[in-house]
Amino acid sequence: MKLIDRFRVNLILATDNKFGISREGVIPWNISEDMQFFRTKTSAKPPGHINVLIVGRKTWEQMGSPIEMSNGRKIIVMTLHPERIENPGVMAARTKEEIADILLRFTETINCIWVCGGKEIYKMFMSSGDFNNIYWNKIESDFGCDNRVFLVESVFETDSSEFVVDKKTGKIVELIYYRMPEP
């Protein structure tokens, strides 16, 4: 079953100008506007509904392994070893089929599913076409990433852009907000 047959599924990611998403397993920038964009998008929902974030184990660990994110967001961690996810507020699955089984338990309350990385999770959803939209923040700077997700810019529309400060490097960078055009 494709998740988009029952749910709205969006991918959300930030890359540097060479499509990098991390270096040695860590996001190499600290841009509060990018994080605020992520929080705002993944939290927006009607009352009485939840948003579900799908992440890989490494991404979840980098998030600080929150028990449950605020603002009505639930987390499903994709991992080969779900038994190792010992957090009562977090669900775990090995496959997209297991994710679908989890989601079917509370279908009526789900507003949107957000695929939040890492690389293999993005690749799985992109290669199967199992998504409705992609929200992409491109940071116009090279952060020396060793983990990349490739996107074709001509497929996207620019929502807006702004110059911001990366708190890790002190550099001023341009942050471009892209989205796929509505059909």
pLDDT tens, 65-124? 554 556 678 999 999 999 888 877 789 999 999 999 999 998 889 999 999 999 999 999
CATH of the domain at 66: 3.40.430.10
pTM reported for the whole predicted model: 0.92
Q: Calculate Rg over the CA atoms of the chain.
A: 16
Question: How many domains are there within the chain?
Answer: 1
Q: Which domain holds residue 18?
A: 3-179
Q: Which residues contact 33 (CB under 8 A, 6 or more apart)?
A: 162, 164, 175
